[in-house]
Every structure is written in C-alpha cells, then in structure tokens.
C-alpha cells in the first residue's frame, strides 16, 4: 500500500481528532475513558479513510473529503456536545452542537438544494442540440449487430467452459461491443474468481471474442497473458495502479478494448468535477497495458483511434437525461416544487428510455466504424411509450445530436411486438439492438432469444407502422422479408415508405446460381442475364427453387429497392414448368 494513500487515511484521522470537542481534549490526560475514546476515534476514522481512499479509491480532493466525511464529522460533533465537561460553566458544547448542525445543513444543501440551481450548467454540460440531419445515416446491412448481449455471453461462457485446465480460477467479465478491422465483435475480458484464485499467481490467459454480426460464428479465444486486471488485488489491480499515479483525478468506469492487431488495453476515462461534484467532465483516457502495467495518459483529442469509447455509458445516459430535461426550461419546469412534480408544466420535457436488463444507452456504429451512444425518448407521462425523438452521442467527444423529426414505436414497443404473433408460443425474450435506417425506413433491430439466452430469430420492426415487421432465423432472409413487408404492408399512404420498394416483374435466363443450407432449408440466390440484381428465395417460400439451374428461363416477381439484393415474392420456372 503506497505511502500516499496511507497519508490520505492519516489525514482523515487527524481531521476527526483535531475537531474533537475542546473540553474532551483538555480532560484527556486526566480521564482513562476519554483517552480510550480518543484512541478509538483515531483508529476508526483512520480505517474510514483507508476504506474511502484505498478500497473505494475515491479521488483525494477537498470535495471528496467533504462529501464522504462531513456527515460522519457532524454526527461526532453533535454527540460530543452532549458530553458533560468537568469544568462547570463550559460553553463549548453549544458551539460544537451548532457547528455540527451547520455541517449537517451544509451537507443536505449540497445534496438536495444546490442541484436544483444547476439546470443551466447541466444543460450546457450535455453538449446537445438538434441534429442538422433529418434521418439516421443509411445502415450497411452487412454489419448489423444482430447478436444480442445474452447470446454473446452464452457463446463466450461456452468457450470458457471448454477449457481443460485452470477453469476454476477464472470467470467471464462484461463483454463490450467494438469494431475490429471493420467487423463488430463482443470482446469479453477474463477475470479472477476471487482473492484465493488470484493468490495462485496464475496470470489471466487472454480474452474471448464473439462475432456480433453472425450468430452462427464460433467464439475465439485470444491468448494474451494479463497481470493487471480489475479483479486482481492490491497493486495488481488495474484501477489501483492508475489511482496511485493520478490521486486527484476523477476516474470513471473501466472498459476493455483491443486494437486491430488484438493487443488488449484497459481504458479508464479520467476527468474532473464541477459544481461541487454534481457535474462530471471527461478530459481524456488512460490506457493500461494489462501485461506490463504501463500507463499512457491522453487528452480526449489525442486518444488513439482504435479506442471506440471515451465517454462511459453512465455519463452518456446522464447527459441524455439533462438534455431532455432542461432543453426548454429550468428545474421547476421539469421537476416542480422541490422535485415532487407538483406545479411542473414539463414544457418540452422528454425522457430517455431506461432498460431493466441492459445499459441505458446502446452502442451504434456508422459506416466509418465510429461509435455513438443511442437512446430513444418518450414523453414524461407515465402512460406514454411512444417515441418522440432519439439522440446520438459521439462516444469519443460527448457531442449529442437530437433527432426530433422521427416519432412512432419506442424500443420497448418494438420488443413487445417482436415477441407476439407466431413467436409468442416459443416464449422468447426480445433484446433490442438499436435503431437503424434500413431501406429508407427507421427500423428497430431486435434479437430474439430463448430462456437460456440462445439466439433464435432476428426481427425488424418499423418505427412508423407497427404492422410492418419481419423476422427469420436467418438474417438475410429476415432482411428480405422486411423488404417485402415495407413494399406491401405500409399503411396510411406514406409515400416515402414505399418509394424505394415496389413490386416488379422480370423474365430472363439464369446465368449463375448459388445454393446453401440455412437452418433446415435451402437458400437460393441467382443472377439473370438482363439484370444486375441478386435474387434471393428459400425453399420455405418455394420448394421448387432448389431445382433452379443455370440456363433455366424464369419469370420472377420481386421487391424492387435500391439495394442490389432483392427478395423474390413469386417465381415460375418456365423451363421446368413449375
């Protein structure tokens, strides 16, 4: 344990001893009970300091001392004021009681009252504004994160349990989705199972990657010995070694990321507090080599490009809340009298969705493989689940873009819809993967999993029309089915919904054909001599499709979109007369 942290704990003890009531200090040499009390007070306060600064690893600053110790100190002063001093007529009891009460008032003020005055500062800190873009960037359908968190965890655990040696030493850490060489993966760190396992001296052997785009892909174990990890103890703990070099910095949630060469790093965002610890500001990130413990500290603009996230998810969600709460008014408008909601007009107030089983923001990647934190917003009314807008926060800079021109189904609605119909009997759980712009439509992507967390289906649910959704066990087929649903199922005369997807007919000779087995059926893709489209059909939709061969003359009805891949509605093989 470092000298500095011992000093921080010692300072805690000295603060408590030096603020002891004067009458007690004057009588301590004459009274054994008081000597014992003073010694006990020193030891207890020292242990309190050890807990705060050595175990919790709180930043060593004036505001940290005040927020964590002031209430304890106030209680001690009030209790000591009730002790009767040997000297008659002693007046310091009144002073100590008053000082203790004032300290309690100061603490309560900073916790409950002062935050009510920070609406403007919090709104500025949210760094948000209305997006200049009217719609989300069109999604690259080749890189959809169709694998849900639960299924990724299931696949990674299955890989970990297949180990033949030392499996009892380790457990799976939290998987973090990231882009590696243009493909999305969940990367799972491996952690120690506890103090006794760490004491065996075995280094963490590596980490596990799970493909987030392909539910059929096997997990990959990447060997890389690691000593400095969050589950290690004492000076092998990665957060502790960072705190030792950065005693006064605000350290935020640790993440585990790898570069494009599969070299691992622990990433600890750092920053500072403003407004008496009510506003956290991210200043950059500290990268730690888990094998050597080497640390490099970067300002936000200098953090290496392979690091996807600098702003932690809890900070992102907090900023989203502040933007929705204060964008058109102050504290009283949003929260009413003393935060009770009484007299709150809530003009312009919107709330981000809170998820019970996942982080409150989703990580979405654009075509440049840059990460943004996403959440949808609803009205604060308890009976409203309709999405009124959504926000994207750059996960490196913290800039929020709010989209206020897209409304319709919320993420929770989409999850419910995807679990209904023919899938209801299978008792599946919907795992929302985010909002995407697919075939010109804002679309919820939902992964459906069974009770064990095993992937079963991918579903696409249209934001504007709850009747337009599609699902399949195969991602490509689910996309094709969704194209069909857009072209044939949109209601309300929405021209923009169907302008890029219409039913068309074509006849031509097959110049190339490709077939593969996909979950108990055959997917057939073919090219016609007079078209550049790739036509797709499965034997579930047309059992005779498996007999299509090069040279066959076909008459095809299909969903015509701007995409090169199109879904076949009906097909007639003129050559086979089928």
Query: How far apart, in Å, are the Cα atoms of 101 and each of 38, 65, 75, 351, 502?
Result: 22, 18, 9, 37, 74
Residues 103 and 218 in one domain: no
d(CA 272, CA 299): 13
Residues 282 and 159 in one domain: yes
Q: Is residue 332 part of a domain?
A: no
User: Is the overall model pTM greater than 0.85, yes or no?
Assistant: no
d(CA 475, CA 477): 5
Q: Is residue 346 part of a domain?
A: no
d(CA 458, CA 469): 11
Phi first, then psi: give them for residue 308, nearest 5 degrees: -80, -40
Q: Is residue 427 part of a domain?
A: yes
Average pLDDT over residues 534-550: 87
d(CA 36, CA 38): 6
Query: How far apart, in Å, are the Cα atoms of 182 and each of 172, 212, 214, 408, 555?
Result: 25, 12, 14, 31, 38
Expressed as residue numbers, the domain containing 186 is 144-302
pLDDT digits (tens, 9 = 90+) for 153-165: 999 999 999 887 7
d(CA 477, CA 488): 16
pLDDT digits (tens, 9 = 90+) for 140-155: 888 899 998 999 999 9
Residues 38 and 160 in one domain: no
For 84-115, b/e burial (b = at least 16 CB within 10 A) is ebeeeeeebbeebbebbeebbeebeebeeeeb
Residues 170 and 211 in one domain: yes
Q: Which of 83-92, 332-341, 430-439: highest mean pLDDT?
A: 430-439
**Banded model confidence at residue 425, pLDDT cuts 50, 70, 90:** low
Query: How far apart, in Å, are the Cα atoms of 271 and each of 12, 122, 243, 310?
Result: 24, 16, 12, 11
Q: Is residue 76 part of a domain?
A: yes
pLDDT digits (tens, 9 = 90+) for 475-514: 888 887 887 777 665 443 332 333 345 678 999 999 999 9
Count of beta carbons in the 10 Å neighbourhood of residue 79: 13
pLDDT of residue 3: 56
Between CA 441 and CA 448, with CA 442 as vertex, the angle to 5 degrees is 110
d(CA 446, CA 439): 16
Q: Is residue 382 part of a domain?
A: no
Residues 195 and 236 in one domain: yes
Q: Is residue 238 pLDDT above 50, yes or no?
A: yes
pLDDT digits (tens, 9 = 90+) for 349-401: 999 987 765 667 889 998 888 999 999 998 887 665 789 999 999 999 999 99
Residues 109 and 214 in one domain: no
How many alpha carbons lie under 13 Å from residue 224 in its C-beta half-sphere?
23
Q: Is residue 546 part of a domain?
A: yes
Residues 271 and 192 in one domain: yes
Report the range of poorest mean pLDDT among 19-28, 248-257, 479-488, 538-547.
479-488
Q: Is residue 85 pLDDT above 70, yes or no?
A: no
Phi first, then psi: give them for residue 405, nearest 5 degrees: -105, 5
Tally of domains within the chain: 4
pLDDT of residue 498: 36
Closest C-alpha to 542, from 480, 452, 457: 480
Boundary-marking domain end, from 465, 497, 529: 497
Do 193 and 322 form a contact (C-beta atoms < 8 A)?
no
Residues 272 and 161 in one domain: yes
Could you identify the residue written with the tokens 């990580």? 363
Residues 455 and 421 in one domain: yes
Check which CATH number belongs to the domain holding 518 and give it: 2.40.50.140
pLDDT digits (tens, 9 = 90+) for 168-211: 899 999 999 999 999 999 999 999 999 999 999 899 999 999 99
Average pLDDT over residues 112-118: 93
Residues 106 and 25 in one domain: yes
Say if residue 538 is exposed, middle or buried (CB neighbours under 10 Å; 0-12, 13-18, 19+): buried
Residues 110 and 156 in one domain: no
Q: Six-digit token pair at 342?
A: 């009484």
d(CA 481, CA 479): 5
Residues 167 and 49 in one domain: no
Boundary-marking domain end, from 256, 284, 302: 302
Q: Strand, coil or helix: what is 375?
A: strand
Phi first, then psi: give them for residue 278, nearest 5 degrees: -100, -20
**Banded model confidence at residue 90, pLDDT cuts 50, 70, 90:** low
Task: List 391's β-bridge partners, or say none.
Answer: 375, 402
Q: Is residue 314 part of a domain?
A: no
Boundary-marking domain end, from 453, 473, 497: 497
Do 207 and 190 form a contact (C-beta atoms < 8 A)?
yes
Average pLDDT over residues 315-339: 90
């Amino acid at each position: 344990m470092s000298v500095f942290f011992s000093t921080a704990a010692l300072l805690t003890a000295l603060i408590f001893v030096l603020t002891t009531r004067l009458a007690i200090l004057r009588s301590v040499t004459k009274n054994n009970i008081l000597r014992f009390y003073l010694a006990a007070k020193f030891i207890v306060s020292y242990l309190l300091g050890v807990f705060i600064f050595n175990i919790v690893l709180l930043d060593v600053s004036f505001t940290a001392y005040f927020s964590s110790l002031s209430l304890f100190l106030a209680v001690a002063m009030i209790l000591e004021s009730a002790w009767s001093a040997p000297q008659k007529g002693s007046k310091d009891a009144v002073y100590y009681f008053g000082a203790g009460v004032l300290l309690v008032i100061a603490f309560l003020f900073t916790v409950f009252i002062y935050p009510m005055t920070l609406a403007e500062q919090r709104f500025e800190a949210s760094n948000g504004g209305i997006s200049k873009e009217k719609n989300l960037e069109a999604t690259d359908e080749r890189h959809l994160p169709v694998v849900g968190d639960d299924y990724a965890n299931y696949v990674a655990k299955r890989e970990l349990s297949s180990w033949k040696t030392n499996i009892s030493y380790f457990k799976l850490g939290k998987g973090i989705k990231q882009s590696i060489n243009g493909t999305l993966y969940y990367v799972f760190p491996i952690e120690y199972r506890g103090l006794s396992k760490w004491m065996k001296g075995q280094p963490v052997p590596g980490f596990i990657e799970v493909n987030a785009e392909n539910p059929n892909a096997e997990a990959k174990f990447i060997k890389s010995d690691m000593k400095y990890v969050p589950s290690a103890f004492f000076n092998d703990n990665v957060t502790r070694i960072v705190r030792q070099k950065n005693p006064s910095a605000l350290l935020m949630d640790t993440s585990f990321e790898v570069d494009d060469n599969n070299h691992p790093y622990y990433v600890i965002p750092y920053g500072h507090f403003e407004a008496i610890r009510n506003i956290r500001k991210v200043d950059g990130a500290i990268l730690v080599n888990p094998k050597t413990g080497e640390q490099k500290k970067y300002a936000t603009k200098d953090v290496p490009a392979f690091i996807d996230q600098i702003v932690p998810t809890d900070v992102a969600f907090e900023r989203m809340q502040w933007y929705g709460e204060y964008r058109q008014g102050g504290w009283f408008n949003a929260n009413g009298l003393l935060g009770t909601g009484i007299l709150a007009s809530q003009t312009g107030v919107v709330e981000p969705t809170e998820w019970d089983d996942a982080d409150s923001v989703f990580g979405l990647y654009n075509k440049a493989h840059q990460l943004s934190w996403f959440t949808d917003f609803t009205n604060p009314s308890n009976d409203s689940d309709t999405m009124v807008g959504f926000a994207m926060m750059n996960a490196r800079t913290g800039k929020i873009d709010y989209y206020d021109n897209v409304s319709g189904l919320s993420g929770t609605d989409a999850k419910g819809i995807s679990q209904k119909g023919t899938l209801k009997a299978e008792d599946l759980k919907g795992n929302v993967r985010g909002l995407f712009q697919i075939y010109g439509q804002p679309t919820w992507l939902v992964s459906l999993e069974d009770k064990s967390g095993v992937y079963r289906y991918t579903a696409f649910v249209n934001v504007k029309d709850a009747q337009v959704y599609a699902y399949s066990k195969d991602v490509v087929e689910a996309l094709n089915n969704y194209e069909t649903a857009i072209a044939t199922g949109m209601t309300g005369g929405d021209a923009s919904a169907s302008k890029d997807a219409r039913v068309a007919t074509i006849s031509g000779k097959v110049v190339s054909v490709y077939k593969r087995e996909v979950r108990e059926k055959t997917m057939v893709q073919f090219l016609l001599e007079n078209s550049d489209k790739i036509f797709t059909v499965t034997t579930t939709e047309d059992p005779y499709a498996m007999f299509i061969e090069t040279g066959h003359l076909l008459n095809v009805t299909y969903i015509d979109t701007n995409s090169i891949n199109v879904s076949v509605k009906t097909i007639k093989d003129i050559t086979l007369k089928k």
